[in-house]
Structure 1
Amino acid sequence: MTASPLVIVGDALLDIDIDGSATRLSPEAPVPVVDVERGWQRPGGAGLAALLAARTHDDVVLITGVADDAAGRQLSELLTSSGVRVVALPMRGSTVSKTRVRAGGQSVLRIDRGDAAPVPGPLPRAAAEALAGAGAICVADYGRGVAALPALREALRAAAAHTPVVWDPHPRGADPVPGCRLVTPNEDEAQHFCGASRVPGELLRDRWDADAVCVTLGARGARVFGADGTRTHVVTPALATGSVREDTCGAGDRFAVAATAALAEGADTLAAVAAAVDAAARFVAAGGAAGVSSPVPAAHGGPLADTDHGTTDAVTLAARLRAEGRTVVATGGCFDLLHTGHIRLLRTARELGDALIVLINSDDSVRALKGPSRPVMPAEDRARVLAALACVDAVAVFDEATPADLLDAIAPDIWVKGGDYTADQLPEADVVTRHGGDVVIVPTVAGYSSSALIAAARSGQPTER
């Protein structure tokens, strides 16, 4: 942890994702009709960068514009409840929100609302103090005016003389202030800024008077252009992959935040970029921005968004989907301290059908399996965390050693289990196959175990990967 705060600067948005199914076309036009099943929300833009920073740092400050409307208040609540200190700049207009509608995992439509813009003027004292005392600063420019404010730019220019500044630029945004330690355009952005230049990183480093420019290349890693004319390619680490489509939403923010954090800890530029490439790759592998989303209000998310995800809901949902001829997938386990292996399992399972129901052991059931010191998280909290994931449609709790009785009621088309089992080793497999369902075993992700993570946390020792 850093003694000084990580400060995030930029445009905060409200992102809303609506997921459903599309099995017919509208009679009014040749467009799909989406039956809404789930919805979730999260801070977007610089708000997402701050949220990601707060997952690993105790002291995170976000300097951003916040409009005085319902969406702005919701955005502020999402941030502050995640441990982010918000320093609000005056705004005019309404909060910018982006609503993405998906059916069967495919994007159908995006609806943008809001016209908020920052009001130029003196920099609030709280913002000036945060920048002056920052351990490192990340500017997440989303082209909506915060990074172009003259007073803020002057403070950033002064801070860059003694504090690492990482600037994630936007094609519609302001140029980075001179003296940034690192500027991180992606490949398309770099070409936009440079036109047909074959070496955009070198040109941009000189144009922006930055110590280094890092052009991010997605799955191919990143290329760093240093002040001494060197070029270094940092490759993406090899991670376990599955058959799912990986969601890269938020990967750029995760990269910029990880690089900022590494610089705050004293890393040199190449080491910071290597840490950022690794962090962004793991973020995408773990489900991307969906893993930090919360259920939206019923007005946005439809009838499933406000349920308590109990047993009745799971059984009712399964019955309705089966009646519609759709594929119900279920998986189960303790899920006591959610980790990357769990996310991979859940996303893989969800891709096998039209809905995923997660069955979790009750507290008594976990104690019987794991011992008196478990679970770390009570069933209610475990269910709430799982239900907030985009790939989970319902959660149910069972008290027995196995979920056989609950599976009998749900009768899933596919039962997914993670590990090195075979189908005949699972006591609940007979129930699934009796209803005509199939059992699918998904290999675990090496290096991830709730028991190991909990033991390491209790001993104060870092876990090995």
Structure 2
Amino acid sequence: MSRAPLVVVGDVLLDREVLGTVERLCPEAPVPVFDETEVLDRPGGAGLAAVFTSSAAATGPPRHTKPGRAPREVVLVGAVSADAAGDRIRELLARAGVRLVEVPLLGKTPEKIRLRAGGHLLMRLDRGSDPAEIGAAPAEAIEAIRAAGAILASDYGRGVCAHPQIRAVLTERAQRVPLVWDPHPRGGHPVPATRLVTPNRAEAAGFAQSNVGTTHSGEWPLTAALNPHQADGLPAHANGNGHAALNGAGRAAHAASNGHAAGNGRAASNGNGHGANNGHGPAGHSDASTADLARAAGMAVRLRRFWGASGVVVTLDDRGAVLSDGVNPPLLVPTPFSARGDSCGAGDRFASAALASLSEGSSILEAVTTAVTAATAYVAAGGALSLCPELHERTDDPASAVII
């Protein structure tokens, strides 16, 4: 029996990685000479989120996926133009098993071209950067959203998620199925009743400052009274799986059960919930770390209230994410291990993993834990240049080598 598809709605672009070497300077000017060796194309923006969603849907969270259950269809509702970049996106999405339902884009399909040498990003060239007009949403796009079992809105601010017809149907479906909203600085607000909003630290700060004032307004319900398990003064684990609560002062709780200390994994915690300096850095570093967590937790709480969302999770790069779900005090979900590298696309990986988890019946906390692990593994594997093996396709011709 087929299940309702997972639908990604948002702004699509073409990402192109141009790899090469730099061994000399140009004689005309003191700039490097870049010798191209390989070109890698992939769908970007909501297109990459759809590819990740397809991969996540094929496996699913082990606790909720029954053996032998067929993966869900993944549908992308996005605006693509009738140009070479648009044709390339169509080809790559088809290879990844994503069904594209097009909304007319009255302008160029945007492209982001990155030049890399020796693992370093030298330059990014953008094409079609100016937002183009979005045409009327076809009936097929509206019906695809209405038929969704779960939805990811990937809002890069180019008009798809703000389209009146699309926003109306997203508002309608948010009352019935899980909706994950991945916001970006140029994007708008999530619709009411969104299940989970996933800004990073900078995005959350921008929304908090422009829409709901500062983070220090007294609207921060992190007192022990909200958590009956904190009667002894020790912030309790959420469910024993390594999540750490934050106490009323915004300080990190005791070390999580997976061996990572709450906060940044460096500061051990003593009996009163304060991070203790354990030799990895000066006390000032610990103070700055806990202050950063406090700000993130405050923004998550305020934005969840302002947006009317069930949960807001603020991602914190290699430290994990802080979640406000309206049930528990804000929780730190730490990364399972340290991962350093190119984080381009990590937000899409996070949001798509959360969507796939919620679609299988996971709680918000379970979905965020799954998403933190998926995004960490993605960065550790090399990020956009080392996508999942099942999505790799390379040809012998460097000019047509592809990652999808």
Q: Common fold, TM-score beyond 0.5? A: yes
For 1:216 and 1:226, locate their aligned partners in 2 and report how far apart those are by CA, in whole Å.
14
CA contact (8 A) 1:222 1:234 kept: yes
Gaps of 5+ in 2: 58-70, 216-294
Give every structure 1 segment of 4 or more consecutive aligned residues whose post-TM-superposition deviation is greater than 6 Å.
293-298
Distance 2:25 2:386 in 1: 31
What residue number does 1:45 align with? Answer: 45
Supply the AA of the counterpart residue of 1:305: A
Alignment match of 1:226 (pick from 314, 318, 325): 325
- Structure 1 residue identity aligned to 2:321: A
Tell me the CA shift for residue 37 of structure 1. 1.1
Partner of 1:273: 368
> Following superposition of structure 1 onto structure 2, how do residues 41-440 of structure 1 map, counting pairs within 5 Å?
41-57=41-57, 58=71, 59-114=73-128, 115=130, 117-121=132-136, 123-195=137-209, 196-197=214-215, 198=295, 199-228=298-327, 230-238=329-337, 246-292=341-387, 304-305=398-399
Instruction: Write the distance in 2 (CA, Å) between the matches of 1:162 and 1:36.
Output: 49
Partners of 2:20 and 2:34 within 8 A in 1: yes
The separation in 2 between residues aligned to 1:61 and 1:279, in whole angstroms, is: 21
Listed one character per residue, the Cα deviations across residues 7-50 of structure 1 (whole Å, up to 9, x for unaligned) are: 00100100001111112222232221111111111000000000
Structure 1 position 389, deviation (Å)? 6.6
Q: Which residue in the other structure is 1:358 paired with?
A: none
Give the partner amino acid of 1:276.
A
- TM-superposed deviation, 1:228: 3.9
> Residues 304 and 226 from structure 1, CA distance in 2 versus in 1: closer, same or farther, beyond 3 angstroms?
closer
Q: Distance in 1 between matches of 2:18 and 2:379?
A: 20
* Deviation, structure 1 residue 70: 1.1
Distance 1:285 1:2, change over 3 A: farther
Give, in whole Å, the separation in 2 of the partners of 1:85 and 1:170: 24
Read off the aligned partner of 1:119 and give its amino acid letter: I
Q: What is the distance in 1 between the residues matched to 2:193 and 2:204?
A: 18
Query: In structure 2, what residue type is equivalent to 1:8?
Result: V
Structural RMSD (CA): 2.3
The secondary structure found in structure 2 opposite 1:248 is coil
Identical columns (%):
49
Check whether the contact 1:202–1:229 (CA below 8 A) recurs between aligned residues.
Answer: no
Call closer, same or farther: CA 1:17–1:191 in 2, change over 3 Å: same
Pick closer, same or farther for the CA change 1:27–1:219 going to 2, 3 Å.
Answer: same
Q: Contact conserved, 1:94 with 1:116, CA < 8 A, in 2?
A: no
Amino acid at match of 2:383: G
1-structure distance, mates of 2:325, 2:403: 39
**Could you say which structure has the larger radius of gyration?**
1
Residues 225-254 of structure 1, C-alpha deviation per residue, up to 9 Å, x if partnerless? Answer: 122462111111137x6xxx6221211101
Instruction: Say whether the 8 Å CA contact 1:67–1:116 is kept in structure 2.
Output: no
1:6·1:60 contact (CA, 8 Å) conserved in 2? yes
CA distance in 1, matches of 2:98, 2:183: 22
8 Å CA contact retained: 2:394, 2:402: no
- Residue by residue over 1:300-332, the C-alpha shift from the partner in whole angstroms, topping out at 9 and shown as x without a partner, is xxx7435xxxxxxxxxxxxxxxxxxxxxxxxxx
Output the CA distance in 2 between the equivalents of 1:116 and 1:85. 24
Structure 1: stretches of 5+ with no match in the other structure: 307-386, 391-465
Deviation at 1:111, TM superposition (A): 0.5
Structure 2 counterpart of 1:103, one-letter code = A
The SS at the match of 2:399 is: coil
Separation (CA, whole Å) in 2 of partners of 1:151 and 1:279: 33
Q: TM-score, normalised by structure 1?
A: 0.61
| SS of residue in 2 equivalent to 1:20 | strand
Deviation for aligned residue 1:120: 4.5
Whether 2:127 is the aligned partner of 1:33: answer no
1:366-394 Cα shifts (integer Å, max 9, x gaps): xxxxxxxxxxxxxxxxxxxxx7579xxxx
| Greater relative contact order structure (CA < 8 Å, 6+ sep) | 2
**Conservation of the 8 A alpha-carbon contact between 2:10 and 2:46:** yes
Provide the C-alpha distance between the structure 1 equivalents of 2:381 and 2:394, rounded to a whole number of angstroms. Answer: 21
- Whether the 8 Å CA contact 2:111–2:127 is kept in 1: the answer is yes
Deviations along 1:274-311, whole A, 9 cap, x unmatched?
A: 1111111112222222234767999xxxx7435xxxxx
Q: CA–CA distance in 1 between the matches of 2:133 and 2:326?
A: 34
Partner of 2:278: none
Select the structure that is richer in helix: 1
Q: Distance in 2 between the 1:145 and 1:47 partners? A: 15
CA gap of 1:81–1:388, structure 2 versus 1, over 3 A, is closer
**Structure 1 counterpart of 2:252:** none
